[in-house]
Structure 1
Amino acid sequence: MLLEEVYFWTDTVKDWKKIFSVDKYKIVVIDTLRELVNRKKITVYAFVIMPNHLHLVWQMVEENGKEMPHASFNKFTSHQIFQDLKVHHPDILPYFKVSDTERNFRLWQRDPLAILMDTQDKLEQKIDYIHLNPLQERWLLCEKTEDYEWSSARFYETGIDNYDFLTDYRNLL
Protein backbone atom coordinates (compact mmCIF):
# COMPACT_ATOMS: atom_id res chain seq x y z
CA MET A 1 0.00 0.00 0.00
CA LEU A 2 1.17 3.47 -0.83
CA LEU A 3 0.68 6.64 1.17
CA GLU A 4 -1.97 9.02 -0.17
CA GLU A 5 -3.68 6.36 -2.33
CA VAL A 6 -7.23 5.16 -1.55
CA TYR A 7 -7.73 1.42 -1.10
CA PHE A 8 -10.53 -1.04 -0.62
CA TRP A 9 -9.25 -3.22 2.22
CA THR A 10 -10.49 -6.53 3.59
CA ASP A 11 -9.16 -7.95 6.82
CA THR A 12 -10.35 -11.48 7.64
CA VAL A 13 -10.21 -13.11 11.06
CA LYS A 14 -8.02 -16.22 11.25
CA ASP A 15 -9.98 -19.32 10.24
CA TRP A 16 -13.05 -17.12 9.71
CA LYS A 17 -13.82 -17.18 13.45
CA LYS A 18 -16.76 -14.90 14.28
CA ILE A 19 -14.97 -12.85 16.93
CA PHE A 20 -16.87 -9.71 15.88
CA SER A 21 -20.17 -11.26 16.88
CA VAL A 22 -19.22 -9.67 20.21
CA ASP A 23 -19.82 -5.91 20.18
CA LYS A 24 -16.93 -5.04 22.53
CA TYR A 25 -14.51 -6.28 19.86
CA LYS A 26 -16.21 -4.17 17.20
CA ILE A 27 -15.71 -1.21 19.53
CA VAL A 28 -11.96 -1.97 19.62
CA VAL A 29 -11.94 -1.63 15.81
CA ILE A 30 -13.95 1.62 15.93
CA ASP A 31 -11.75 3.11 18.65
CA THR A 32 -8.57 2.18 16.77
CA LEU A 33 -9.83 3.73 13.54
CA ARG A 34 -10.84 6.89 15.41
CA GLU A 35 -7.43 7.13 17.08
CA LEU A 36 -5.57 6.76 13.77
CA VAL A 37 -7.82 9.37 12.13
CA ASN A 38 -7.39 11.79 15.05
CA ARG A 39 -3.63 11.37 14.79
CA LYS A 40 -3.89 12.09 11.03
CA LYS A 41 -2.43 8.70 10.03
CA ILE A 42 -5.45 7.57 7.99
CA THR A 43 -8.63 8.83 6.35
CA VAL A 44 -11.65 6.51 6.45
CA TYR A 45 -14.26 6.87 3.70
CA ALA A 46 -16.36 3.75 4.33
CA PHE A 47 -16.38 0.66 6.52
CA VAL A 48 -18.34 -2.33 7.69
CA ILE A 49 -17.51 -4.73 10.51
CA MET A 50 -18.91 -8.19 9.86
CA PRO A 51 -18.84 -11.15 12.29
CA ASN A 52 -15.57 -12.54 10.88
CA HIS A 53 -14.11 -9.84 8.64
CA LEU A 54 -14.16 -6.14 7.91
CA HIS A 55 -14.03 -3.96 4.83
CA LEU A 56 -12.66 -0.44 4.65
CA VAL A 57 -12.20 2.19 2.01
CA TRP A 58 -9.34 4.18 3.46
CA GLN A 59 -6.21 6.11 2.76
CA MET A 60 -2.86 5.88 4.49
CA VAL A 61 -1.88 9.52 5.14
CA GLU A 62 1.32 9.23 7.14
CA GLU A 63 3.47 6.48 8.61
CA ASN A 64 2.91 5.67 12.26
CA GLY A 65 6.47 5.77 13.51
CA LYS A 66 8.32 3.29 11.29
CA GLU A 67 5.27 1.33 10.12
CA MET A 68 2.33 1.87 7.84
CA PRO A 69 -0.93 2.70 9.64
CA HIS A 70 -2.60 -0.53 8.46
CA ALA A 71 0.10 -2.50 10.30
CA SER A 72 -0.52 -0.42 13.42
CA PHE A 73 -4.26 -1.01 13.06
CA ASN A 74 -3.82 -4.79 12.84
CA LYS A 75 -1.28 -4.90 15.65
CA PHE A 76 -3.28 -2.75 18.05
CA THR A 77 -6.67 -4.41 17.45
CA SER A 78 -5.08 -7.86 17.88
CA HIS A 79 -3.35 -6.84 21.10
CA GLN A 80 -6.50 -5.31 22.63
CA ILE A 81 -8.72 -8.26 21.71
CA PHE A 82 -6.23 -10.85 22.94
CA GLN A 83 -5.80 -8.98 26.23
CA ASP A 84 -9.56 -9.18 26.74
CA LEU A 85 -9.75 -12.83 25.70
CA LYS A 86 -7.00 -13.77 28.17
CA VAL A 87 -8.94 -12.20 31.04
CA HIS A 88 -12.58 -12.86 30.12
CA HIS A 89 -12.63 -15.72 27.61
CA PRO A 90 -9.48 -17.85 28.03
CA ASP A 91 -11.27 -20.84 26.49
CA ILE A 92 -11.51 -18.94 23.16
CA LEU A 93 -7.84 -17.96 23.00
CA PRO A 94 -6.53 -21.37 21.77
CA TYR A 95 -8.51 -20.93 18.52
CA PHE A 96 -6.05 -18.17 17.63
CA LYS A 97 -2.86 -20.02 18.62
CA VAL A 98 -0.14 -20.16 15.95
CA SER A 99 3.37 -21.49 15.84
CA ASP A 100 5.01 -18.44 14.30
CA THR A 101 8.44 -17.25 15.30
CA GLU A 102 7.09 -13.71 15.64
CA ARG A 103 3.91 -14.34 17.71
CA ASN A 104 1.92 -16.90 19.69
CA PHE A 105 -1.52 -15.80 18.57
CA ARG A 106 -2.90 -14.39 15.31
CA LEU A 107 -6.19 -12.53 14.99
CA TRP A 108 -6.00 -11.45 11.35
CA GLN A 109 -5.23 -13.78 8.47
CA ARG A 110 -2.05 -12.94 6.61
CA ASP A 111 -2.15 -10.92 3.42
CA PRO A 112 -5.27 -8.78 3.66
CA LEU A 113 -6.89 -7.83 0.39
CA ALA A 114 -5.90 -4.32 -0.75
CA ILE A 115 -7.30 -2.99 -4.04
CA LEU A 116 -6.30 0.44 -5.31
CA MET A 117 -9.33 2.65 -5.95
CA ASP A 118 -8.13 4.32 -9.12
CA THR A 119 -11.50 5.20 -10.67
CA GLN A 120 -14.70 6.76 -9.34
CA ASP A 121 -16.76 3.80 -10.62
CA LYS A 122 -14.57 1.30 -8.77
CA LEU A 123 -14.69 3.39 -5.59
CA GLU A 124 -18.48 3.70 -5.65
CA GLN A 125 -18.92 0.00 -6.47
CA LYS A 126 -16.80 -1.00 -3.46
CA ILE A 127 -18.60 1.41 -1.12
CA ASP A 128 -21.95 -0.03 -2.27
CA TYR A 129 -20.57 -3.53 -1.71
CA ILE A 130 -19.46 -2.58 1.82
CA HIS A 131 -22.85 -1.13 2.71
CA LEU A 132 -24.81 -4.05 1.24
CA ASN A 133 -22.65 -6.70 2.95
CA PRO A 134 -24.84 -7.00 6.10
CA LEU A 135 -27.93 -7.59 3.92
CA GLN A 136 -26.46 -10.59 2.10
CA GLU A 137 -28.50 -13.75 2.51
CA ARG A 138 -25.58 -15.38 4.29
CA TRP A 139 -25.68 -12.73 7.04
CA LEU A 140 -29.08 -11.02 7.21
CA LEU A 141 -27.83 -8.64 9.90
CA CYS A 142 -30.39 -5.92 9.09
CA GLU A 143 -33.19 -5.03 6.70
CA LYS A 144 -31.85 -1.68 5.44
CA THR A 145 -28.21 -0.69 5.06
CA GLU A 146 -28.54 2.33 7.34
CA ASP A 147 -29.93 0.12 10.13
CA TYR A 148 -26.66 -1.77 10.56
CA GLU A 149 -24.83 -0.03 13.38
CA TRP A 150 -21.31 -1.19 12.45
CA SER A 151 -21.10 0.47 9.06
CA SER A 152 -20.74 3.85 7.41
CA ALA A 153 -24.03 3.36 5.51
CA ARG A 154 -26.03 5.55 7.92
CA PHE A 155 -23.48 8.34 7.40
CA TYR A 156 -24.06 8.25 3.64
CA GLU A 157 -27.86 7.97 4.03
CA THR A 158 -28.37 10.65 6.70
CA GLY A 159 -25.14 12.65 6.96
CA ILE A 160 -24.84 11.67 10.63
CA ASP A 161 -21.39 10.38 11.62
CA ASN A 162 -21.98 8.42 14.82
CA TYR A 163 -18.30 7.47 14.88
CA ASP A 164 -16.77 10.91 14.39
CA PHE A 165 -14.03 9.75 12.03
CA LEU A 166 -15.59 9.42 8.58
CA THR A 167 -14.79 11.55 5.54
CA ASP A 168 -17.28 11.65 2.66
CA TYR A 169 -15.65 10.05 -0.39
CA ARG A 170 -17.32 12.66 -2.60
CA ASN A 171 -14.80 15.14 -1.17
CA LEU A 172 -12.19 13.26 -3.21
CA LEU A 173 -13.92 13.96 -6.52
Structure 2
Amino acid sequence: MPNHIHLIWRLNHLNGKELPSASLLKFTAHEFKKMLPKEELYSYQIDAPNKKHEFWQENSRAIELWTPAVAYQKLDYIHRNPVSGKWKLVNDWVDYKYSSGSFYENQSSDFGFLKHLGNEF
Protein backbone atom coordinates (compact mmCIF):
# COMPACT_ATOMS: atom_id res chain seq x y z
CA MET A 1 0.00 0.00 0.00
CA PRO A 2 1.23 3.51 -0.60
CA ASN A 3 0.98 4.53 3.05
CA HIS A 4 1.12 1.36 5.18
CA ILE A 5 2.36 -2.19 5.37
CA HIS A 6 0.94 -5.51 6.52
CA LEU A 7 3.30 -8.22 7.78
CA ILE A 8 3.02 -11.73 9.06
CA TRP A 9 6.17 -12.57 10.94
CA ARG A 10 7.31 -15.18 13.41
CA LEU A 11 9.04 -14.60 16.72
CA ASN A 12 12.09 -16.83 17.10
CA HIS A 13 12.71 -15.96 20.76
CA LEU A 14 11.88 -13.25 23.27
CA ASN A 15 14.07 -10.17 23.16
CA GLY A 16 14.33 -8.59 26.59
CA LYS A 17 11.47 -6.81 28.30
CA GLU A 18 9.79 -5.29 25.24
CA LEU A 19 6.80 -6.72 23.48
CA PRO A 20 7.89 -8.49 20.28
CA SER A 21 6.04 -5.95 18.13
CA ALA A 22 7.82 -3.08 19.93
CA SER A 23 11.18 -4.72 19.23
CA LEU A 24 10.31 -5.05 15.54
CA LEU A 25 9.26 -1.41 15.27
CA LYS A 26 12.32 -0.20 17.16
CA PHE A 27 14.76 -2.31 15.13
CA THR A 28 13.28 -1.33 11.78
CA ALA A 29 13.21 2.36 12.74
CA HIS A 30 16.94 2.23 13.50
CA GLU A 31 17.56 0.49 10.17
CA PHE A 32 15.51 3.12 8.30
CA LYS A 33 17.62 5.86 9.89
CA LYS A 34 20.78 4.17 8.61
CA MET A 35 19.43 3.59 5.10
CA LEU A 36 17.58 6.79 4.25
CA PRO A 37 19.41 9.72 2.68
CA LYS A 38 19.44 12.82 4.89
CA GLU A 39 17.07 14.70 2.60
CA GLU A 40 14.44 11.92 3.03
CA LEU A 41 15.14 11.46 6.73
CA TYR A 42 14.12 15.07 7.29
CA SER A 43 10.48 14.27 6.46
CA TYR A 44 10.32 11.88 9.43
CA GLN A 45 11.57 14.39 12.01
CA ILE A 46 9.40 15.10 15.04
CA ASP A 47 9.67 17.27 18.12
CA ALA A 48 9.69 14.79 21.00
CA PRO A 49 11.85 14.45 24.10
CA ASN A 50 12.65 10.76 23.55
CA LYS A 51 13.27 10.59 19.77
CA LYS A 52 14.08 12.73 16.76
CA HIS A 53 12.27 10.70 14.06
CA GLU A 54 9.07 8.69 13.77
CA PHE A 55 8.61 6.05 11.10
CA TRP A 56 5.72 4.02 12.45
CA GLN A 57 2.22 5.04 13.40
CA GLU A 58 1.99 5.41 17.15
CA ASN A 59 -0.74 2.80 17.62
CA SER A 60 0.43 0.12 15.20
CA ARG A 61 -1.65 -3.03 15.58
CA ALA A 62 -0.07 -6.39 16.23
CA ILE A 63 -2.43 -9.35 16.19
CA GLU A 64 -1.21 -12.73 17.39
CA LEU A 65 -2.05 -15.55 15.01
CA TRP A 66 -2.69 -18.50 17.31
CA THR A 67 -4.44 -20.79 14.85
CA PRO A 68 -3.95 -21.61 11.18
CA ALA A 69 -7.52 -20.45 10.48
CA VAL A 70 -6.83 -16.96 11.84
CA ALA A 71 -3.44 -16.82 10.10
CA TYR A 72 -4.93 -17.71 6.71
CA GLN A 73 -7.78 -15.24 7.20
CA LYS A 74 -5.22 -12.46 7.78
CA LEU A 75 -3.10 -13.61 4.83
CA ASP A 76 -6.15 -13.51 2.58
CA TYR A 77 -6.92 -9.97 3.79
CA ILE A 78 -3.32 -8.89 3.12
CA HIS A 79 -3.33 -10.37 -0.38
CA ARG A 80 -6.66 -8.79 -1.32
CA ASN A 81 -5.91 -5.36 0.16
CA PRO A 82 -4.14 -3.97 -2.97
CA VAL A 83 -7.18 -4.76 -5.15
CA SER A 84 -9.73 -3.48 -2.67
CA GLY A 85 -12.11 -0.66 -3.55
CA LYS A 86 -10.01 1.95 -1.79
CA TRP A 87 -6.68 1.09 -3.41
CA LYS A 88 -7.18 -0.63 -6.78
CA LEU A 89 -3.38 -0.78 -7.23
CA VAL A 90 -3.57 -3.84 -9.50
CA ASN A 91 -6.33 -5.84 -11.15
CA ASP A 92 -5.20 -9.19 -9.76
CA TRP A 93 -3.83 -9.53 -6.21
CA VAL A 94 -1.09 -11.88 -7.47
CA ASP A 95 0.38 -9.03 -9.53
CA TYR A 96 1.02 -6.62 -6.66
CA LYS A 97 4.80 -6.17 -6.58
CA TYR A 98 5.15 -5.89 -2.80
CA SER A 99 2.99 -8.89 -1.94
CA SER A 100 3.61 -12.54 -1.23
CA GLY A 101 0.65 -13.31 -3.51
CA SER A 102 2.77 -14.73 -6.33
CA PHE A 103 4.70 -16.82 -3.78
CA TYR A 104 1.48 -18.56 -2.77
CA GLU A 105 -0.18 -18.66 -6.17
CA ASN A 106 2.78 -19.32 -8.52
CA GLN A 107 5.51 -20.48 -6.14
CA SER A 108 7.66 -17.55 -7.30
CA SER A 109 8.94 -14.53 -5.42
CA ASP A 110 11.43 -11.70 -5.57
CA PHE A 111 11.74 -12.04 -1.79
CA GLY A 112 14.14 -14.75 -0.68
CA PHE A 113 13.03 -14.64 2.94
CA LEU A 114 9.44 -15.83 2.51
CA LYS A 115 8.29 -19.08 4.08
CA HIS A 116 4.95 -20.76 3.54
CA LEU A 117 2.54 -20.00 6.36
CA GLY A 118 1.43 -23.63 6.50
CA ASN A 119 4.93 -24.67 7.57
CA GLU A 120 4.86 -22.38 10.60
CA PHE A 121 2.09 -24.18 12.53
Q: Same fold (TM over 0.5)?
A: yes
Query: Equivalents in 1 of 2:40, 2:114: separation in Å?
Result: 32
Shift of 1:115: 1.2
Q: 1:127: which partner in 2?
A: 75
Query: Equivalents in 1 of 2:16, 2:106: separation in Å?
Result: 36
Query: Equivalents in 2 of 1:118, 1:72: separation in Å?
Result: 20
CA contact (8 A) 1:132 1:145 kept: yes
Are 2:5 and 1:62 aligned? no
Identity of aligned residues (%): 37
What do you get for the CA RMSD once the two structures are aligned? Answer: 2.4
More strand per residue: 1
After superposition, what is the alpha-carbon deviation per residue over 1:28-57, rounded to whole angstroms, capped at 9, x for unaligned?
A: xxxxxxxxxxxxxxxxxxxxxx21111111
Q: Could you state the TM-score of these two structures normalised by the residue count of structure 2?
A: 0.80
Query: Equivalents in 2 of 1:172, 1:82: separation in Å?
Result: 31
Query: Equivalents in 1 of 2:16, 2:49: separation in Å?
Result: 23
CA contact (8 A) 2:21 2:62 kept: no
Where do 5+ consecutive residues of structure 2 fail to align? none
Higher relative contact order (CA 8 A, sep 6+): 1
CA contact (8 A) 1:60 1:68 kept: no
CA contact (8 A) 2:46 2:53 kept: yes
Q: Which stretches of structure 1, 4 residues or longer, exceed 3 Å deviation after superposition?
A: 63-73, 79-83
Q: How many aligned positions are there?
A: 120
Q: Could you state the TM-score of these two structures normalised by the residue count of structure 1?
A: 0.59
Are 2:108 and 1:157 aligned? no
Query: Equivalents in 2 of 1:159, 1:148: separation in Å?
Result: 15
Shift of 1:68: 6.2
